[in-house]
Structure 1
Amino acid sequence: MTTRLIAWLVLACSTALAACNTVAGAGQDISKGGHAITNSAEQHE
């Protein structure tokens, strides 16, 4: 019983950490895309 609980906790924590890294990376990519669009628009004014 305890071994299963520990295994589930480890699995849940590792999944949560992977999801956080993925969301953070996607946020950074979207932010960089937004900056590129802004810079391009400012150059063409």
Structure 2
Amino acid sequence: MKKLLLLAAAVAVSSLTSCNTAIGIGRDFRQLGIGMENKAHGRTWDGGQEQQQDNLPTY
């Protein structure tokens, strides 16, 4: 009986923490997507304007 209660408690705790982990991963992927989109549009990763150097070719 003790083992069953311990197993139930472990499942309950892991299910609560996994929800927060999934939310955190979702937020990380959203930030990654925003950063990639900013770089594709010629901005810095955090959204500011990137300074271009004149001696490098622009594609």
TM over 0.5, shorter chain:
yes
Given the alignment, which residue of 7, 16, 19 partners 1:18? Answer: 16
Q: Which residue identity is paired with 2:20?
A: T
| Whole-Å separation in 2 of the counterparts to 1:9 and 1:42 | 48
Q: How does 1:6-45 map to 2 (within 5 A)?
A: 6-44=4-42
Q: Which has the higher contact order (CA 8 A, sep 6+)?
A: 2
- Number of positions where the alignment pairs a residue of Structure 1 with one of Structure 2: 43
* Cα RMSD, aligned residues only: 1.6
Which has the higher Rg, Structure 1 or Structure 2? 2
Unpaired stretches in structure 2, ≥5 consecutive residues: 44-59
Unpaired stretches in structure 1, ≥5 consecutive residues: none
TM-score scaled by structure 2?
A: 0.58
